[in-house]
Amino acid sequence: MRGKGAAALAGLLGTALVLTACGGGSSDGGSDSGGASGKGPFTFVTGKDNSGTMPYIADEWNKAHPDEKVTIKQQSDSADQQLSDLQQHFQSKDANYDVVTVDVVWTAEFAAKGWLVPLKDDYAIDQAALLPATVDAATYNGTQYAAPYASDGGLLYYRKDLVKKAPTTWDELIADCDGKTTKGTIKGSKPGCYAGQLAKYEGLTVNAAEAINATGGTIVSEDGKSSTVDSAQATTGLDFLVNGFKDGYIPKEALGFKETESLNAFSAGQLMFMRNWPYAAAILSGDSSKVADKYGIAPLPGPDGHGASSLGGHSVAISQYSDTKGSALEFLKFMQSEEVQRNDLTVGTLAPVLSSLYTDEALVKKFTYLPDLLKSIESAVPRPVTPFYPAVTQAIQTNAYAAMQGDTTTAEALKNMAAAINSAAAGG
C-alpha cells in the first residue's frame, strides 16, 4: 500500500523532470559545408508577425523567385519561447529551419554553437549602407553571423508642456524635475520625475547597460569571456538609477515597470520623463493618451551630453543545416533591401537598418522621431555580446535590482555582477 503510493507519487512528480529532458543533444563545430549554391524553396522562421510586415515580404519575394518560394513559419510572440524553439530545432539539426530571425542578444550564442553560417567569403554581404551599430551587434569574434533587418534604440519621452527643452544630461533632467514632480512615489496631481523599464527582467538589463555605457563603462570584454563591469565608470552610471530611488527622482513604482507599465504611467500624465522604445510614440499619440499633444521625443540623456542607448532589434541568419543556403543568402539581401526596409517602417513601424531612410524627407515627415532615433542608434552600444548571454543578463538584473532597492551598495553590486559574469563564462 505504502510502496504503491510512493510509486504513484514518483510518476506524478516525474513530469517535472520531463521538462528538462526534452531537447537534449549537442552542438556541432563551426565548420562550413559547400558554397552558397543550394537553391530551392525554403522556410523562414520568425517570431509572431505583430508588425504585419510578413505578407508583403512573402508576396514580393515569391513574385520575383517562383522557383525558390519562401514559407514563413511564425513562432509564438514570447521571446523566451522563440529562443527555446530555435535551440531545439538547431540541436536536432533541423534542415527545415533554413532562415531564422535572431534577436540581437542571441547572436553570439548561436554563432558559438556553430548553428549559423558565417557571412564571409561566398556568403559575404555588403553592409556599407547599414548603421554600423547594427552590424556590430550581429558580429561575434570578428565575424558577422547575421544580417540585421530591424533595429531599435531607446528614446527619452518628455512632457513639453512642463519643460521647454529636453534635458541632454542627467543633472539637467533632475534639475528639470525640481518642484514640478513628486518625490519617491507617484501620488496626487504632480507627476513622478523619471522612469524606464526597471522591473527585474530583460528590460532592466537594457536600462542598466544604457546607464553604464553612457559613462564609458563596459560590461564584458571584447571577446565576451570576462567581465569589465567592476569599474569607476560603471559605478557612476549605475548610480544614476540607484540614486534615483534614494533621492526620489525615480518613483518606487518603477521597480515594477516593464515597457507597458511605464508607457501607461506616462500616457496617464504620471511621469515627466520616460525612457522607452520608438513604438511608444504611436500609442502616446492615440486616443487613450492624456498627453497626446504634450509630449516630445529626444535622445537619451547621459552624464555629460547625450547618453548611450542599448541596441535592440533583429537579424536574419542562415542555418548551418539548411540545404538551400544559396536561396537563403539572396533572401538575407532582400530583407535588407530598401523596398522591404521602407515597408517595414511604414507598415510595421520597425526601425530600419539602412541609414539613408532616416533622412528620407517623406519618411521623416510621417515619423518625426526618426532623426532622434538615428542619434540614439548611432550612439547605441550592443548589450553584452557574449555566448553566455542568459547567465550574463541574470547577473546584471539580479545585482542592479538589489542595488536599486538599497539592499546593497552600487560598488558591491557591480563587484558581484562581475563575479557572476566571470563565473558564467567559466561554465557556471
Partner 1 sequence: MSITSEPIAENAADTSGKRRRRKRDKTIHTGESRLAFLLLAPTLIMLTVIVGYPIIKAIYQSFLTDPGLDSSGFFNEGNSWNGLANYKHWLLQQCPGAGGVTESCPTGNLGAQFWSSVGITIGFTVVTVLLETIIGMCFALMMHRAFKGRALVRVAILIPWAIPTAVIAKLWIVIFDPQGVLNNVLGTDFAWTSESGPARAAIVIADVWKTTPFIALLILAGLQGISNEIYESAKVDGANAWQRFWRITLPLVKPALAVAVIFRSLDVLRMYDLPWILTQGANGTTTMSILVVRQLNSGLNSASALSTITFIIIFAIALGLVRLFNANIVERGTR
Sheet strands (E) in 39-103: 42-46, 70-74, 99-103
Identify the residue among 252, 349, 363, 409 touching partner 1 (CB under 8 A). 252
Distance CA 254, CA 240 (A): 14
Residue 355 within binding range of partner 1, rule CB under 8 A: no
Residue 259 within binding range of partner 1, rule CB under 8 A: no
Residue type, 34: G
> Minimum Å distance from CB 385 to partner 1?
11
Residue 248 within binding range of partner 1, rule CB under 8 A: no
Identify the residue among 58, 255, 347, 411 touching partner 1 (CB under 8 A). 255
Residue 105 within binding range of partner 1, rule CB under 8 A: no
- For residue 275, the 8-state DSSP code is E
> Minimum Å distance from CB 339 to partner 1?
36
Cα dist. 105→52, 349, 391 in Å?
Answer: 23, 21, 12
Residue 3 within binding range of partner 1, rule CB under 8 A: no
Q: With CB under 8 A as the contact rule, which of the stretches 69-77, 306-314, 323-331, 412-420 interacts with partner 1?
A: 412-420
Site map (CB under 8 A) of partner 1, residues 50-79, x = contact = ------------------------------
CA angle, corner 393, sides to 133 and 224, nearest 5? 55
> Minimum Å distance from CB 287 to partner 1?
21
Asked whether the beta carbons of 201 and 393 are under 8 A apart, the reply is no
Residue 160 within binding range of partner 1, rule CB under 8 A: no
Distance CA 309, CA 209 (A): 8
Q: Please list every residue from 13 through 32 that binds partner 1, using CB under 8 A.
A: 13-24, 26-27, 29-30
Residue 195: strand, helix, or coil = strand
Q: With CB under 8 A as the contact rule, which of the stretches 52-60, 106-114, 165-173, 211-219 interacts with partner 1?
A: 106-114
Distance CA 287, CA 263 (A): 14
Residue 200 within binding range of partner 1, rule CB under 8 A: yes
* Residue among 235, 322, 309, 284 nearest 37 (CA): 322
Residue 2 within binding range of partner 1, rule CB under 8 A: yes
Sheet strands (E) in 167-234: 192-195
> Minimum Å distance from CB 303 to partner 1?
25
Q: List b or e across 281-315, with b for residues whose CB sees 16 or more CB atoms inside 10 angstroms.
A: bebbeeeebebeeebbbbbbbbbeebbbbbbbbbb
Measured from the CB atom, the residue of 20 and 189 that comes closer to partner 1 is 20
Q: Within 13 Å of residue 117, how many CA atoms lie on the same side as its CB?
A: 31
343 is written with which cell numbers?
515597408
Q: With CB under 8 A as the contact rule, which of the stretches 71-79, 109-117, 172-180, 369-377 interacts with partner 1?
A: 109-117
Identify the residue among 45, 238, 318, 425 touching partner 1 (CB under 8 A). 425
Site for partner 1, rule CB under 8 A: 1-2, 5-6, 9-24, 26-27, 29-30, 80, 83-84, 112-114, 140-141, 185-187, 199-201, 223, 225-226, 252-253, 255-256, 387-388, 390-391, 394-399, 401-402, 408, 416-417, 419-428
